Amino acid sequence: MKTSPRICNRKKRFATRAAAEEVAARADVTLRAYKCELCHQYHLTSRTKGMKTPSYERGEL
């Protein structure tokens, strides 16, 4: 997923995918964690269109 520098700066960053998904799992809305190519950390997005279903939702942990 491509992230613009503006969005990257605005978004909360997570050091690991696990940390981001932990927050996503607790949120009221469906969120996806994705690795940012700019800061190389993880962000959350509520735009799930075209995003891969994370492994924890597919039961592949």
Residues near Zn ion (CB under 5 A): 8, 36, 38-39
Question: To the nearest whole angstrom, how small is the minimum distance from the Cβ of residue 48 to Zn ion?
Answer: 18
Nearest to Zn ion by Cβ — which residue? 36
- 24-28 contacts, C-beta under 8 A, 24 or more apart: 25/56
Question: To the nearest whole angstrom, how small is the minimum distance from the Cβ of residue 44 to Zn ion?
Answer: 11
Is-contact 39 18, C-beta < 8 A? no
Question: To the nearest whole angstrom, how small is the minimum distance from the Cβ of residue 59 to Zn ion?
Answer: 28
